[in-house]
Amino acid sequence: MRILAAGDHFVAPELLTRELAAVIGAAHTVGQLRLPWPLTPFGPVSEVDEASGDEDTLLAALAGAEVCVTQMAPVTSKILDGSPDLRLVVVGRGGPVNVNLDAAKKHGVQVCNTPGRNAAATAEYTIGLILAAMRRIPETSAALAAGRWAGEFYTYDNCGPGLDGATVGLIGCGAVGSRVARALTALGSEVLVYDPYADPGLLREAGTPVASLDELLRRSSVVSLHARLTPETRGLLGARELALLPEGAVVVNCARGALLDEDALCDALESGRLAAAGLDVFAVEPPPPGSRLRTAPRLVMTPHLAGANKSVAHNAARVAAAEVGRFLRGERLAHRVA
């Protein structure tokens, strides 16, 4: 059987090939393709989202392949139409948004993902971004690097709040949100959780469930987003919602940029209603040169790095290789989505 390891500069094709060899041995041919992400941002390719590379290059690499293991390759209708031997696509990420699932089903191609592969990394980063925004760590580090001992940040008016005793609201309480909740509890925070789709028992384990988003916003001095981006959640936090937060609140988003109205966030920062914000994700990545985010005060920004650590890359490759092994042995796939 021919397998294509369509890796990138994070989950590298060599890493995928090594993990595949550990599971399936040397009896199968593994070809390699390296996609440009993350050196080139992902984006829409034809009808799929958050993809990397072009369809023609992928089509050529898939010639004769029955299995494709990838993180970012654009598995579009054109790809599926032009790859008659393809039987399985394993996507090394939580949401296979780079795969046209309807077209895959039409062509009889099974699709799997690797859920939870970066949950711990994203939760760690969320805590770091909350602290960086609240305690003004990047701002004070930059001042010291420029030769200025910024003692004014120790004054009452300029120092930031802490997490011990703070009420933190989590919007979404899945694999990432639940881990963030545990870390916040250990730091002494009161954790409120809002997730209309989560199991009520799991919500109670994570923190104090609230009945509505509005209630969570009114009670929280820190809010962190952990929801999936759907038509229902797009623009979840806009001007009305941000106005419900107590004055001096902090907002952090390591989920998806389009969950948050960025202009409304800039308004709240510029007016002083929000004490700070931290963004790892953006509606357009990277933010365009004229974006207000680039000049908004007390805003910490990082380039979509929350899920980036070495353990995540290895996790994705291992889980993906295990799925290929199940497929070759004729076993039920553990993470089939289509």
Phi (first) and psi of residue 209, to 5 degrees? -70, 145
Rounded to whole angstroms, how far apart are CA atoms 219 and 275? 16
**338 in any annotated domain:** no
Q: What pLDDT, in 10s, does the model give residues 61-99?
A: 999 999 999 999 999 999 999 999 999 999 999 889 999
Pair (141, 52) in one structural domain: no
Does position 27 have pLDDT exceeding 90, yes or no? no
Name the average pLDDT for the chain: 96
Q: What pLDDT, in 10s, does the model give residues 100-127?
A: 999 999 999 999 999 889 999 999 999 9
Does position 206 have pLDDT exceeding 90, yes or no? yes
Q: How many domains does the chain have?
A: 2
Residue 296, SS3? coil
Pair (225, 313) in one structural domain: no
Query: Given this model, what pLDDT does residue 160 score?
Result: 83
Task: List the CATH number of the domain containing 59.
Answer: 3.40.50.720
Does position 264 have pLDDT exceeding 90, yes or no? yes
What average pLDDT does range 257-261 have in this prediction?
A: 97
Place of tokens 């971004």: 129
Q: Quickly list DSSP for 311-328.
A: HHHHHHHHHHHHHHHHHH
Pair (125, 259) in one structural domain: yes
Q: Which of 93, 256, 298, 335 is catalytic?
A: 256
Rounded to whole angstroms, how far apart are CA atoms 70 and 316? 10
**335 in any annotated domain:** no
Pair (110, 16) in one structural domain: yes
Query: Given this model, what pLDDT does residue 99 score?
Result: 98
Is 124 catalytic? The answer is no
- How many other β-carbons are positioned within 10 Å of the β-carbon of residue 124? 16
- How many other β-carbons are positioned within 10 Å of the β-carbon of residue 37? 21
Rounded to whole angstroms, how far apart are CA atoms 151 and 110? 59
Is 285 catalytic? The answer is yes
Q: Are 333 and 112 in contact (CB under 8 A)?
A: yes
Pair (28, 57) in one structural domain: yes
Pair (254, 284) in one structural domain: yes
Question: Taking the model in full, what pTM does it have?
Answer: 0.90
**207 in any annotated domain:** yes
Pair (322, 250) in one structural domain: no
Pair (90, 231) in one structural domain: no
**18 in any annotated domain:** yes
**333 in any annotated domain:** no
Rounded to whole angstroms, how far apart are CA atoms 320 and 70? 9
**297 in any annotated domain:** yes
Q: Are 325 and 88 in contact (CB under 8 A)?
A: no
* Residues 6 or more apart in contact with residue 83 via CB below 8 angstroms: 59, 62, 63, 65
Is 107 catalytic? The answer is no
Does position 161 have pLDDT exceeding 90, yes or no? no
Pair (163, 111) in one structural domain: no
**293 in any annotated domain:** yes
What average pLDDT does range 199-207 have in this prediction?
A: 94
Rounded to whole angstroms, how far apart are CA atoms 324 and 115? 15
Q: Which of 215, 285, 292, 314 is catalytic?
A: 285
Pair (159, 289) in one structural domain: yes
Does position 129 have pLDDT exceeding 90, yes or no? yes
Rounded to whole angstroms, how far apart are CA atoms 192 and 207? 6
What average pLDDT does range 258-265 have in this prediction?
A: 98
Does position 26 have pLDDT exceeding 90, yes or no? no
Query: Given this model, what pLDDT does residue 158 score?
Result: 85
- First-to-last alpha carbon distance for the chain, in angstroms, is 21
User: Is residue 196 packed enough to be buried (19+ CB in 10 Å), middle (13-18) or exposed (0-12)?
Assistant: exposed
Query: Given this model, what pLDDT does residue 207 score?
Result: 96
**For residue 257, what pLDDT band results from cuts at 50, 70 and 90?**
very high
Q: Which of 136, 298, 304, 335 is catalytic?
A: 304
- Which residue segment(s) compose the domain that 252 sits in? 119-301
Residue ranges of E strands in 195-244: 208-209, 222-225
**138 in any annotated domain:** yes
User: Is residue 15 packed enough to be buried (19+ CB in 10 Å), middle (13-18) or exposed (0-12)?
Assistant: buried
**For residue 315, what pLDDT band results from cuts at 50, 70 and 90?**
very high
Pair (140, 110) in one structural domain: no
Pair (128, 235) in one structural domain: yes
